[in-house]
Amino acid sequence: MNATTSYQAIIASPIGPLGIVIEDGALYRINFLSDETTLQATDDEPTAQVVAQLQHYFKQADWHFSLPLQPVGTAFQQKVWQQLQQIPLGEVRTYGEIAWTLGSGPRAVGNACRNNPLPLVVPCHRVVAANGPGGFAGQTQGRNLSIKGWLLAHEGVTL
């Protein structure tokens, strides 16, 4: 999504502003936004529920999301995202482990993770490389990797 994306809300979080997109009453996308982004409140109920549940997660890592989701992706991406939702809080899986489960390759799993439209709710941050943290949101260093580290630490994971 780009600068012209229409968000139903933009909220502050410990990892920076998050843009929330709802379509047909379901969570469609969560975007990490720059620190300079202006926050935007919401007055519609589906978005308010997403905001409340994200705030609960940031206060209490063992919060279980209960939201209608509408992630758009290929059939393979959908399979990967379903696998991500099976990773328990406080645990990680490697790209290779997920690939083995799906009869695929680690790189394909990494690409599906990179294209996850619902980070946090579909916990792609719980997928790591065999020899370290791997990447996050398409980056292997910088802000996105710091976000991944924060999320894993918040959930009690040390690498």
Q: Where in the sequence numbering do the catalytic residues fall?
A: 124
Those residues with Cβ within 8 angstroms of residue 2's Cβ, 6 or more apart along the chain or in another chain: none
DSSP string, the chain: --TT---SEEE--TTS-EEEEEETTEEEEEEE--TTPPPB---SHHHHHHHHHHHHHHH-TTPPP---B-----HHHHHHHHHHTTSPTT--EEHHHHHHHHTS-HHHHHHHHHT-SSTTTS-GGGEEBTTB---BTTBSSSHHHHHHHHHHHHTT---
